[in-house]
Amino acid sequence: MTAQESTSTRPYLIRALYEWCTDNGFTPYVAVRVDDSVQVPREYVKDGEIVLNISFDATSALQLGNDFIEFKARFGGKPREILVPVGRVIAIYARENGQGMAFPPPVDMLTGGDVSPVLAQAPAPVAAVPAPSDDRVVQLVGSEEGGKEDGGDAPRPPPASGGARPSLKRVK
């Protein structure tokens, strides 16, 4: 089996970081680039992305498979079934300190191919994701510890501006 034929490391890294988060009392969040293959409540999609809280307390029947992440969760009090292809996950991180890992963007972002209407007005990929020609994994490292608990239904990503933001550290 060649490197081209082997399975992706992405689902294994997602499971490992999920376990690290839960072992350390952190809340694991995944950032997902949404397209037609992603089954999430579209009203919570912003700029073609959604951030999901995948902690034990926020989900039921969570399965972190090699092809899909699937679970049931409540959004605005309504139960929903969530199905995310692993290839659409662009990051997994701890909500409390931002530590985690970013992944290369999905193929449609690299080729500029057709995107769903939800993504038609999406901005260019976030600078925290490696350049399209770079296939390496990038680790997110928080620049300041601590976080704020709010107990809300909808997950919140790290602060977008001002304050402490995660920085990138290459892992070779």
Residue pLDDT, tens place only, 53-63: 999 999 999 99
Helix or strand or coil: residue 169?
Answer: strand
Strand segments, DSSP code E, in 39-87 are: 49-53, 60-64, 68-75, 78-85
Rounded distance between C-alpha atoms, residue 89 and residue 54, angstroms? 12
Q: Is residue 23 in a domain?
A: yes
Q: Is residue 2 in a domain?
A: no
Structure tokens at 41: 């409540």
Q: Name the residue with higher pLDDT: 34 or 1.
A: 34
Mind listing the pLDDT tens digit for each residue in 124-148? Answer: 333 333 334 444 555 555 544 444 4
Q: Is residue 53 in a domain?
A: yes
Entry pTM: 0.63
Q: Is residue 115 in a domain?
A: yes
State the Cα angle at 74 between 59 and 20, rounded to 5°: 25
Please answer whether residues 100 and 169 qualify as being in contact, where contact means their C-beta atoms are separated by less than 8 angstroms.
no
Q: Is residue 143 in a domain?
A: yes
pLDDT score recorded for residue 137 = 53
Q: Is residue 5 in a domain?
A: no
The CA distances from residue 126 to 102, 136, 156, in Å, are 11, 16, 17
Q: With pLDDT > 70 as the criterion, what percentage of the chain qualifies?
A: 60
Cα dihedral sign, 21-22-24-29: positive
| Structural domains in the chain (count) | 1
Q: Is residue 60 in a domain?
A: yes
Mind listing the pLDDT tens digit for each residue in 95-121? Answer: 999 999 999 988 765 555 444 433 333
Domain that holds residue 166: 10-170
Instruction: Give the CATH number for residue 68.
Output: 2.30.30.220
Mind listing the pLDDT tens digit for each residue in 62-75? Answer: 999 999 999 999 99
Q: Is residue 3 in a domain?
A: no
